[in-house]
Structure 1
Amino acid sequence: MKIDAPRGSAMLGLGHFQPEKVLTNRDIEELVDTNDEWIQSRTGIRERHIAGEGEDTTTMAVAAARMALADAGLSDVDLVIVASTTSEARSPNGAARVSSELGFTGPAVIDINTACSGFEYALALADQSISAGVAETALVIGSETLSRITDWTDRATCVLTADGAGAVVLGASAVKHVSPVVWGSVPELADAVVVKGEPPIFSQNGRSVMRWALTSSVKDAERVLERAGVSMDQIDVLAFHQANLRIIEPLAKGLGATDRHIVLTDVEVSGNTSAASVPMALSKAWHAGELPRGAKALLFGFGGGFTYAGQVVDLPA
């Protein structure tokens, strides 16, 4: 539907992809000095998916995109934004590769690298572009192959990382279905989560990240609700970055979540997939029939940079 002067955007479709290969906690016991009980007690993770031969950030992004486009009933878009820290090349960027693989007719193509908050940043830019009238439809993807930047001898990080992709399609709407974003950074934690070296390797100061998440994330998520003009009573779904179950649970509790709220905990079976974690968790639950049509979801991501971002969105009606 063409909107001459769109006021906002609406989510039209969702998609996701995960590699077939599953790495369980028992498998990780064979790699480092750890055990299933230790991993679950500290992260909530039981297993994660790992990319195999011929699978990478782009191929997973394309697979998730195809699913989202089919869900939306579209075959082309005006704008493609890919959020990732693991793109295969600096140029062409991931969004250009995805556009080419999907046979699009020439959309604007942008990559975002704000690590684990990347999807929320990308969604905000897509919504703003549509609201400004410079795009009518947008494909927003979070895709990561973290297994290829993981030190598999470091038990503090290798128990966390995983691979996958999630995507959403946005379209112009006369009614706002994506709220204004709340985003920002924490400069003093800029080096708390890093990917560097040759070859690049992921590392983090887990204690600093956990301390921020347990002391500051609630107030920032509350700012998202305030900017959206809604209360927790109006929220149906809580979709936080799937970093650690021991962060997700206190964040939900701190916001006043009740048994009525659907709190996504895909981290248990998918691990930490950085920018892919929120859209993948949403799409998996959506296509499993676990989320009501038109449900109002609070999205909130945080991670390397140190960055955070969130917004309230309505799922497809």
Structure 2
Amino acid sequence: MVARRTDTDGRRAAVVAGVGSCLPARTVPNEELAARLDTSDAWIRSRTGIARRHVAAPGTATSDLAVGAGARALKSSGEPAVDAVLVATTTPDRPCPATAPLVAARLGMTGAAAHDVSAVCTGFVYALASAAGLILADVAERVLVIGAETFSTLLDPGDRSTSVIFGDGAGAVVLRSGTAGEPGALGPFDLGSDGESEALITVPAGGSRQRLSGVPPRPGEEFFTMSGKEVFRHAVRRMTGSAKAVLARAGWTAEDVDHMVGHQANSRITQHVAEGIGLPPQRCFSNIAEVGNTAAASIPLALDQAHAKGVLRPGQRVLLTAFGGGLTWGSTVLTWPRLDPS
């Protein structure tokens, strides 16, 4: 294994300074879904690795979960405010305006820069890159980055292929200005997209294309759809390729990675990506069994839970990688810092 540097090289960098998460109180076990769908607990577990998921109660919005996660991340960082708030989400409170300004206001930061990031399940990694850019450009000293979803609002309750996979939740990190090489500093990013494959993960109705077509939406087109087998294939290939690319840019090998915290899409996808990178299964943190696929919230939610459980320890090298609709994908790396609990 390559000797680990603990010194800094003086270059400006975005540094993780706090983590937090928020889950709805209600959990939906596989047995509850099996009672109304043509499926079983064993079928769901074998194909996804999911045992239960959290679902937001009526009256709860994405912003509510985002505020909960953001407040805990701010507490963990030891500072009550930031200069900018970014919310990665596929399920904003409304099509207009963005959810981030409301979240910033509710956290007591009216006046801070705030905007949403839309890249579906890759949204958090894209938001991290955007936040790091604000810090590197000297636009902000501290940025709150939140991934928040109420994906249950997009699901056809009668569609077994999607209803068993997704859950609701939010996770957040606080980034501060620091120097490259110090614990918590985000390393290089690898980001990509393939718009020619947009139909593989989509909500057909509700946007300008459908509304301006002059054709009313067909029943069910307001729900999320996914071509499972094709998405599986693309996810494994793109996450593996992106992870390898970012490791090469960071000068790391697979042996240097203590933990991979990937988008929690499907336990089998995680296994295949780990094999492609050359990581043993025990280095891949997974919480999908308890929370399901929470889209843009999955990586920050997993980071907070792994930190709280003591799985992520100061000085360990961490790889983040994700894949989502668009198609989009992205990865980055960091050395885990010493953080207060959220």
Q: Please point out which of 18, 29, 34 is paired with 1:13.
A: 18
Question: What do the CA deviations read for 1:102-129 (whole angstroms, capped 9, x no partner)?
Answer: 0114211111000000000000010111
> In terms of mean alpha carbon deviation, does 214-223 or 49-58 score higher?
214-223
Q: 1:305 aligns to what?
A: 326
Higher mean C-alpha deviation, range 87-96 or range 153-162: 87-96
1:132-156 alpha-carbon deviations (Å, 9 max, x no partner)? 1111000000000001110010011
Q: 1:57 touches 1:143 (CA, 8 Å); kept in 2?
A: yes
- Mapped partners of 2:195, 2:231: distance in 1: 13
Alignment of 1:161-172 (within 5 A): 161-172=166-177
Rounded Cα–Cα distance in structure 2 between residues aligned with 1:216 and 1:54: 37
- Give CA-to-partner distance per residue, 1:67-121, whole Å, 9 cap, x none: 1000000101001100001001133311101001001142111110000000000
Mapping of 1:129-278 within 5 angstroms? Answer: 129-176=134-181, 177-198=185-206, 200-258=222-280, 262-278=283-299
1:70 match: secondary structure? helix
Residue identity opposite 1:37 in structure 2: A
Identity among equivalent pairs (%)? 39
Aligned-pair Cα RMSD in Å: 1.5
Match of 2:41 in 1: 36
Aligned letter for 1:21? R
Matched, 1:26 2:34: no
SS in 2 for 1:248: helix
- In the alignment, which of 269, 274, 280 is matched to residue 301 of structure 2? 280
d(CA) in 1 for partners of 2:238 and 2:144? Answer: 31
Distance of aligned partners of 1:174 and 1:216 in 2 relative to their CA distance in 1, 3 Å threshold: closer
Question: Which SS does the other structure have where 2:298 is aligned?
Answer: helix
Separation of aligned partners in 2, 1:14 and 1:20: 20
C-alpha distance in 2, partners of 1:24/1:283? 22
The answer on whether the counterparts of 1:49 and 1:164 sit within 8 Å (CA) in structure 2 is yes
Give the CA deviation at 1:231.
1.6
Cα offset, 1:55, TM superposition: 1.9
Shift of 1:6: 6.2
**Are 2:239 and 2:322, in contact at CA under 8 Å, matched by a contact in 1?**
no
Q: Aligned partners of 1:6 and 1:223: how far apart in 2?
A: 22
TM superposition shift of 1:289: 1.9
Residue aligning to 1:115: 120
Determine which structure has more spread, i.e. the larger CA radius of gyration. 2
Under a length normalisation based on structure 2, what TM-score does the superposition of the two structures give?
Answer: 0.88
Distance 1:246 1:258, change over 3 A: closer
- Separation in structure 2 between the aligned mates of residue 54 and residue 111 of structure 1, nearest angstrom: 21
CA contact (8 A) 2:15 2:178 kept: yes
What does residue 82 of structure 1 align with?
87
- The answer on whether the counterparts of 1:119 and 1:279 sit within 8 Å (CA) in structure 2 is yes
1:185-210 per-position Cα deviation (integer Å, ceiling 9, x unaligned): 12332111002325831110111111
- Give the secondary structure class of the aligned counterpart of 1:190: helix
Equivalent residues of 1:80, 1:138 under 8 A apart: yes
For residue 181 of structure 1, give the secondary structure of its aligned residue in structure 2: strand
| Matched-pair contact (CA < 8 Å) for 2:187–2:332 | yes
Task: Work out the number of aligned pairs and report it.
Answer: 312
Task: After TM superposition, give the deviation of residue 9 of structure 1 in Å.
Answer: 1.2
Q: Which moved more, 1:198-207 or 1:294-303?
A: 198-207
Gaps of 5+ in 2: 1-9, 207-220
> Helix, strand or coil for the counterpart of 1:61?
helix
Gaps of 5+ in 1: none
TM-score using structure 1 length: 0.94
Counterpart of 1:152 in 2: which secondary structure?
coil
Say whether the 8 Å CA contact 1:6–1:133 is kept in structure 2.
no
Per the TM alignment, residue 268 of structure 1 is displaced from its structure 2 partner at its CA by 1.1
The 8 Å contact of residues 31 and 152 in structure 1, kept in 2 or not, is answered as no
Contact 1:301–1:308 (CA<8 Å) still a contact in 2? yes
CA distance in structure 2 between the partners assigned to 1:154 and 1:86 by the alignment: 19
What is the deviation of 1:180? 2.1
Q: Tell me if the contact between 1:6 and 1:172 (Cα under 8 Å) persists in the aligned partners.
A: no
> 1:143 touches 1:165 (CA, 8 Å); kept in 2?
yes
